[in-house]
Chain A
Amino acid sequence: QQPVQSPQAVILREGEDAVINCSSSKALYSVHWYRQKHGEAPVFLMILLKGGEQKGHEKISASFNEKKQQSSLYLTASQLSYSGTYFCGTGWGNFNKFYFGSGTKLNVKP
């Protein structure tokens, strides 16, 4: 029931782009994206509620394909501050269960 994230780790140079994928074996109601820096709590990035909807903030955006039960997070022109572990979270129904993926470690180097 836990969503599957890929890749597990990414190393980028500043200014490069990255895509992180999240897929589920169950029909999704929503997808959340969070970022966790080392030693800190996860911080909310965005939530997608409708199939096919794409949301974004500055150079980080995400899409949600309800039919394919997939979401992707797009990081454009990465900055050093983007480094951290990215988690997708998926919920359905009455949110009795809300699972996070195993995370994708992103390391942006100068």
Chain B
Amino acid sequence: GAGVSQSPSNKVTEKGKDVELRCDPISGHTALYWYRQSLGQGLEFLIYFQGNSAPDKSGLPSDRFSAERTGGSVSTLTIQRTQQEDSAVYLCASSLVGAEAFFGQGTRLTVV
């Protein structure tokens, strides 16, 4: 596709369940970012990938969060044992290194 694609667009899950969020970046973009945005708040950096490697995972809020990227393309953000405070919009962005970032429409996660 022409843009960054995220799925699902909405996810409602029960507290304690695991969820997987997917990001399909723009073809050829080596840099991929995950951000979290709580209602009415700014963008919280979670993790950055350059190719398949994640040089910096320090933004992940807890060890319940993990992310991987395979083939230098699709990335998956996994949240284990979800908590209510995990409810937010999770945004993925991709770019050529140092260039403008293109954002997906996000996944709205609601933990009930």
Residues of A at the B interface (CB closer than 8 Å) are: 2, 29-30, 32, 34, 40-44, 47, 49, 87, 89, 91, 94-103
Cβ-defined contact, B91 with A32, below 8 A = no
B9 → chain A closest CB, angstroms: 11
8 A-B pairs with C-beta separation under 8 A? A30-B98, A41-B91, A41-B103, A43-B103, A95-B97, A95-B98, A97-B56, A98-B45
By beta carbon, the residue of chain B nearest A102 is: B42
* A103→B41 CA distance, assembly (Å): 8
Residues of B at the A interface (CB closer than 8 Å) are: 31, 33, 35, 41-43, 45, 48, 50, 55-56, 59, 91, 93, 97-106
Q: Which B residues touch A43, using CB under 8 A? A: 103
Q: Which B residues touch A29, using CB under 8 A? A: 98
Cβ-defined contact, B42 with A42, below 8 A = no
Q: Which B residues touch A94, using CB under 8 A? A: 50, 55, 97
* A75→B10 CA distance, assembly (Å): 34
Number of inter-chain CB pairs below 8 Å = 58
B53 → chain A closest CB, angstroms: 10
Cβ-defined contact, A87 with B100, below 8 A = no
* A6→B19 CA distance, assembly (Å): 36
State which of A41, A49, A95, A103 has its C-beta within 8 Å of the C-beta of B31. A95
A53 → chain B closest CB, angstroms: 15
By beta carbon, the residue of chain A nearest B99 is: A47
Q: Which B residues touch A40, using CB under 8 A? A: 105
The 4 closest A-B pairs by CB, nearest first: A102-B42, A41-B103, A100-B43, A44-B100
Cβ-defined contact, B48 with A95, below 8 A = yes
B68 → chain A closest CB, angstroms: 17
A31 → chain B closest CB, angstroms: 12
Cβ-defined contact, A96 with B104, below 8 A = no
